[in-house]
Amino acid sequence: MKRLSELFEEPAVINVKQETFFIRPDGQNPFAAARKKRVNLLALGDVGSMLLIGLRLLGGEQIASIGICDLDPKVAARFEMEINQIDQPLDHSHLPEVEAVDARHLFDCDVMIFCASKGVPPVGGDTADVRMAQLSANAELVGQFARQAVQCGFGGLFAVVSDPVDPLCKAALSTGLKREQVQGYGLGVMNARALYFARRDERFASFLAEGRAFGPHGEDLVIANSLEHYDDLLSKELTRLAAESNLKTRELGFKPFIAPALSSGSLSILAALSGNWHYSSVYFGKEDRGAFLGVKNRRTPYGIEVEDLPLPEALFLRIKYAYERLSELL
């Protein structure tokens, strides 16, 4: 049996415990879990606008206020008005206030959520991997804003939601942000998609209580039906169903953005702000060699805590392969 910590390329950075390891912060943690956060969100397209709705409805305990920024000021003005018109019938103090901000003030916050994207392939196209088709353009875009964060002395969390999530995290890290400042939010929906299929097929029922998700949001995803009773063939079939679910939505003629925006975005980010366990990507590499890998983790005063349970050999090799493939990108 092996553990995720064996993939970590800079062992001096981690503190290994019995069932977890901590990634030590380089200085002060990006934010303290005890207080409400100021969250800014960049780009209000399909994903960004749906994510914003989730934060407004569900973020009252974790978020003090939300700033929204879009290349089109009219879009930001529209959402400032409409989102603030979503409210409880009687209790008018619970939901976080939303305000439009310009790009100069984008990093006046604790958490900046990057939802900007270029060149999303159209529905009905023949692009095999929709996420990777966006890598080049979006890497340039995320680099632009990450450099702005560094220049501003931003000390908060740079949360990446745009595709492809994990390589874009590495592009952001390469600008000078610290390891613990960058996390990718894409694996949450893959776990949710696996749950969807597990609830509908008894063969996958073990995933509901014992399963895990690892790796990237997309190709080379790793779903394990169970850590205790791992079945390699069953796990690979469930992985395929989860990984190809977005293509099924596209075959119906729709962009698959609702579940990612809420499962990977709103719900996972709110869990991170609360210091709760969730799925997101953390950096396993050393300097610029390595990759962001999606794992079960949580943010603590001592750093990012990553689940580090014993893994069957076949499962560990699948995760290692995914990590090595990610390391080859960018």
Give yes or no for a contact between 190 and 206, defined as CB atoms under 8 angstroms apart. no
Rg of the chain (C-alpha set): 19
Backbone torsions φ then ψ of 250, nearest 5 degrees: -65, -35
For residue 46, how many C-alpha atoms fall within 13 Å in the half-sphere facing its CB?
12
Do the Cβ atoms of 44 and 75 come closer than 8 Å?
yes
The whole-angstrom separation of Cα 205 and Cα 93 is 41
DSSP state of 265: I
Instruction: Count each helix (H run) and each strand (E run) in the chain, helices first.
Output: 11, 13
For residue 62, what are the CA distances in angstroms to 96, 254, 267, 310?
9, 32, 11, 33
Tell me 199's DSSP state.
T
Q: What is the DSSP letter of 105?
A: G
Spatial neighbors of 150 by CB under 8 A, at least 6 apart, are: 175, 176, 177
Residue 132, phi then psi, degrees to nearest 5: -70, -20
Q: Position 221: which residue type?
A: L
Note the pTM of the prediction, 2 decimals: 0.95
Q: What does the pLDDT profile of the chain (330 residues) look like in tens digits? A: 999 999 999 999 999 999 999 999 987 788 776 789 999 999 999 999 999 999 999 999 999 999 999 999 999 999 999 999 999 998 888 999 999 999 999 999 999 999 999 865 565 555 545 556 678 889 999 999 999 999 999 999 999 999 999 999 999 999 999 999 999 999 999 999 999 999 999 999 999 999 999 999 888 999 999 999 999 999 999 999 999 999 999 999 999 999 999 999 999 999 999 999 999 999 999 988 999 999 999 999 999 999 999 999 999 999 999 999 999 987
